[in-house]
């Protein structure tokens, strides 16, 4: 890690600048994932039935929304679909773990 501020991608002229930006973005992603998993903890606390943790309709909606957003942004939709599939499945597993932990 470095103390050099990250430049926007279109302003990068060296690989060092690119890597600084990627590292800064990764830290931001971790902050967002921390918040997202916080919502999974909240869901585990709120849902009264363990069976309510897995909601295939909601999963399909979330992944489809991410793919649509990716297409709008010109991002590779297949990569985003794969990432979101893994993110949502990981979130469901985490929520099950939290649901069980809270109720033990």
36 annotated as a binding-site residue: yes
85 annotated as a binding-site residue: no
Q: How many CB atoms lie within 10 A of CB 53?
A: 20
Q: What is the largest CA-CA distance in the chain?
A: 54
Residues 27-45, buried b or exposed e (16+ Cβ, 10 A)?
A: eeeeeeeeeeeeebbebbe
47 annotated as a binding-site residue: yes
Evaluated on CA atoms 92, 94, 99, 100, the torsion sign reads: positive
| Annotated binding-site residue numbers for substrate | 19, 36, 47, 95
Q: Which residues are annotated as a binding site?
A: 19, 36, 47, 95
């Amino acid at each position: 890690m470095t103390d050099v501020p990250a430049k926007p991608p279109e302003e990068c002229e060296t690989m060092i600048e690119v890597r600084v930006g990627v590292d800064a973005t990764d830290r931001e992603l971790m902050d967002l994932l921390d918040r997202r998993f916080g919502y999974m903890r909240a869901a585990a606390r709120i849902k009264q039935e363990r069976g309510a943790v897995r909601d295939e309709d909601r999963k399909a909606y979330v992944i489809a929304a991410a793919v649509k957003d990716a297409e709008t942004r010109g991002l590779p939709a297949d990569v985003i679909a794969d990432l979101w599939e893994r993110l949502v499945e990981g979130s469901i597993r985490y929520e099950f773990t939290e649901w069980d932990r809270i109720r033990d």
